């Protein structure tokens, strides 16, 4: 007697092949989303001097082309993660891609510094919806230890491809056409990804309809904005000035309000404090906070060094950064296979040591330095460190996510990295400005970058020490 209707379940080799193909398609989509986000960051770095000359940014204001994006991305990431849990990753992914693409179009057409920064802020909001959704799918779709490690390795390596393509495309587009095309290129990419996500992730809906914690999102984002703005103001006004202390004090008050909302007022909090008691989430998040400052020191300031100190064109600077992006790509892919065997602790300590040595070496470069010996060598070493640390810590931070919280745990991890990048850029820009005193001379600019790279070396030491606290391997990869 027939006991059920519908087609019979596929078993054996055919069923496994279908699941493998489905998983490969999903992973390709997630990697493509990560590629687009990193492409946008790296492609903008190369174009910054051209943007400055065309629109007339101030020295501190130019950093907000990057920081405006990072700030909104970091502040809204937790909201995006919780929304992915409640409303479904497909909805959040497609919505985020749509917002990101529309903002890219606005940025490419911007006619003033304020318009460009505003468009970058909206871009960050789109990315804040997209990134946690990709991590939620990644963490729940790939649970087998080997598959999980390979998936995180591929996802992390796609950032290396984005960095490589961004460095090349940014230089080529800025030199051959205009800096505006570094934003406009996102529009067709985003449209294609929306079409793929709408079909590939069809039916991936959240478990329940609950009210989002908008109060937590508002206080958390405002707190971060106030803190970063205060740090940025200290570059010109000094740390003891009202222009710096006022926003910093406001940020502290807003952070206290955010904590109160999350602890008592929100029925479904943006940041459930119970998650911070999970070792992987807490330690991994703290390390990603430090890592964000290290990564921004590499990609942002090495591009400026090549153009402002060595006098390279945007295209040549993009080509100069390509070997570093390739190295990161190769090492990140290799780390995926090493993680189940060597464990997180070994990889992070080794990566932190490589970062420390690379930044220490890079801090010796000056206006008369040669590229191969004084820039390429140390940046390749830094790329090795980033490739070992980033996918390993990200996998450790998200491995123990409870059921139903994969999106918000991914949001915590991604938020920590982006907050570290935003605050790190503010601090490092302040340090560089204090060192060169606003001078445009190559030697003065080099002294500011030297200070930045030494600070990054200190952060790298913290990462290496943090690796000793990290568990030997994520539970999912044990």
Per-residue pLDDT of the chain (478 residues; tens, 9 = 90+): 334 444 444 444 444 444 445 677 778 888 888 787 777 766 777 777 788 888 877 766 777 787 778 777 777 777 777 777 777 777 888 888 999 999 999 988 888 888 888 999 899 889 888 877 777 777 667 666 667 667 766 776 676 677 667 666 776 777 767 788 888 888 888 888 888 887 777 554 444 455 667 777 788 778 877 877 777 676 666 677 888 888 889 989 998 888 888 777 656 677 777 777 777 777 778 888 888 888 877 777 777 778 777 778 766 777 777 788 788 878 887 887 787 778 888 888 899 899 999 988 888 877 677 787 788 888 899 989 988 888 888 777 777 666 666 666 777 777 777 778 777 777 787 777 776 655 555 555 666 667 788 888 888 888 888 888 775 554 443 3
Q: Do both 125 and 37 map to the same domain?
A: yes
Q: Do both 334 and 441 map to the same domain?
A: yes
Residue 246 CB neighbours (<10 A): 14
How far is it, in rounded angstroms, from Cα 358 to Cα 92?
38
Q: Do both 470 and 391 map to the same domain?
A: yes
The answer to whether 277 and 439 have CB atoms below 8 angstroms apart is: no
Q: Do both 245 and 277 map to the same domain?
A: no
Q: Which helix (H) or strand (E) holds 461?
A: helix 442-469
How far is it, in rounded angstroms, from Cα 294 to Cα 420?
8
The answer to whether 79 and 213 have CB atoms below 8 angstroms apart is: yes
Q: Do both 186 and 242 map to the same domain?
A: no
| Angle of the 113-141 helix axis to the 12-55 helix axis, nearest 10 | 160
Predicted confidence at residue 436, as pLDDT, reads 60
- Give 192: exposed, middle or buried? Use CB within 10 Å, 0-12, 13-18, 19+: middle
Q: Please report whether residue 450 resides in a domain.
A: yes
Among residues 229, 244, 269, which one ends one of the domains? 269
For the record, the structure tokens of 285 come out as 């998040």
The answer to whether 308 and 163 have CB atoms below 8 angstroms apart is: no
Q: Please report whether residue 9 resides in a domain.
A: no
Residues 6+ apart with CB under 8 A from 341: none
Closest among 33, 71, 84, 37 to 398, alpha carbons compared: 84
Q: Do both 150 and 219 map to the same domain?
A: no
127 by DSSP, 3-state: which? helix
Return the DSSP state at 177: T
Residue 238 CB neighbours (<10 A): 13
Q: Please report whether residue 289 resides in a domain.
A: yes
pTM value > 0.75: no
Q: Please report whether residue 14 resides in a domain.
A: no
Quickly count helices (H) and strands (E) in the chain: 16, 0
How far is it, in rounded angstroms, from Cα 51 to Cα 61?
11
Among residues 269, 287, 315, which one ends one of the domains? 269
> What's the domain count of the chain?
2
Predicted confidence at residue 212, as pLDDT, reads 67
The answer to whether 179 and 57 have CB atoms below 8 angstroms apart is: no
For the record, the structure tokens of 95 come out as 């919505």
Q: Please report whether residue 422 resides in a domain.
A: yes
Closest among 271, 216, 227, 285 to 253, alpha carbons compared: 227
Q: Do both 392 and 411 map to the same domain?
A: yes
The answer to whether 445 and 436 have CB atoms below 8 angstroms apart is: yes
Q: Please report whether residue 208 resides in a domain.
A: no
Q: Do both 244 and 330 map to the same domain?
A: no
Identify the domain containing residue 141 by its residue range.
24-203+270-477
Among residues 225, 242, 269, which one ends one of the domains? 269
The answer to whether 279 and 86 have CB atoms below 8 angstroms apart is: no
Q: Please report whether residue 11 resides in a domain.
A: no
Q: Do both 154 and 97 map to the same domain?
A: yes
Q: Please report whether residue 435 resides in a domain.
A: yes
How far is it, in rounded angstroms, from Cα 226 to Cα 246?
9
Q: Do both 264 and 274 map to the same domain?
A: no
The answer to whether 409 and 81 have CB atoms below 8 angstroms apart is: yes
* Secondary structure, 3-state, 217-258: HHHHHHHHHHHHHHHHHHHHHCCCCHHHHHHHHHHHHHHHHH
Q: Do both 103 and 168 map to the same domain?
A: yes
Q: Do both 402 and 439 map to the same domain?
A: yes
The phi, psi pair for 391, rounded to 5°, reads -65, -30
Task: Residue 332: give its domain's CATH number.
Answer: 1.20.1250.20
């Amino acid at each position: 007697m027939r006991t059920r209707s519908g087609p019979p379940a596929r078993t054996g080799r055919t069923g496994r092949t279908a699941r493998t193909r489905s998983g490969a398609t999903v992973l390709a989509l997630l990697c493509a989303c990560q590629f687009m986000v990193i492409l946008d960051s790296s492609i903008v770095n190369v174009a910054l001097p051209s943007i400055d000359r065309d629109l007339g940014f101030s020295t501190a204001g130019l950093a907000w082309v990057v920081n405006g994006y990072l700030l909104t991305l970091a502040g809204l990431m937790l909201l995006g993660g919780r929304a992915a849990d409640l409303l479904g990753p497909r909805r959040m992914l497609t919505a985020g891609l749509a917002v990101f693409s529309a903002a890219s179009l606005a940025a490419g057409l911007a006619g003033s510094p304020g318009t460009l920064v505003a468009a970058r802020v909206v871009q960050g909001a789109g990315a804040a919806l997209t990134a946690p959704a990709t991590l939620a799918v990644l963490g729940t779709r790939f649970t087998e230890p080997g598959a999980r490690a390979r998936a995180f390795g591929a996802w992390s390596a796609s950032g290396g491809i984005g960095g490589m393509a961004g460095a090349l495309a940014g230089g080529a587009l800025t030199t051959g056409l205009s800096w505006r095309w570094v934003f406009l290129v996102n529009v067709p990419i985003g449209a294609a990804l929306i079409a793929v996500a709408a079909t590939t992730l069809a039916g991936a809906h959240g478990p329940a309809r609950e009210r989002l914690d908008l109060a937590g999102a508002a206080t958390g984002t405002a707190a971060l904005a106030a803190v970063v703005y205060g740090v940025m103001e200290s570059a010109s006004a000094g740390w003891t000035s009202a222009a710096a202390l006022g926003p910093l004090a406001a940020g502290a008050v807003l952070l206290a309000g955010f904590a109160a909302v999350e602890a008592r007022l929100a029925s479904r909090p943006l940041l459930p404090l119970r998650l911070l008691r999970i070792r992987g989430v807490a330690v991994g998040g703290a390390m990603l906070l430090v890592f964000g400052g290290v990564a921004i020191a590499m990609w942002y300031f090495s591009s400026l060094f090549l153009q402002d100190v060595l006098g390279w064109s945007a295209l040549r600077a993009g080509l100069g950064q390509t070997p570093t992006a390739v190295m990161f790509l190769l090492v990140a892919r290799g780390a995926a296979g090493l993680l189940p065997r060597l464990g997180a602790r070994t990889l992070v300590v080794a990566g932190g040591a490589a970062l420390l040595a690379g930044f220490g070496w890079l801090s010796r470069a000056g206006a008369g330095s040669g590229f191969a010996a004084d820039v390429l060598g140390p940046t390749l070493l830094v790329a090795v460190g980033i490739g070992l640390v980033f996918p390993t810590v990200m996998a450790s931070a998200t491995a123990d996510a409870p059921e139903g919280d994969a999106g918000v745990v991914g949001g915590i991890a991604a938020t920590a990295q982006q907050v570290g990048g935003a605050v790190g850029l503010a601090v490092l820009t302040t340090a560089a400005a204090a060192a060169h005193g606003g001078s445009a001379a190559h030697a003065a600019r080099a002294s500011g970058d030297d200070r930045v790279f030494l600070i990054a070396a200190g952060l790298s030491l913290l990462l290496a020490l943090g690796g000793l606290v990290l568990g030997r391997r994520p539970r999912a990869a044990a």
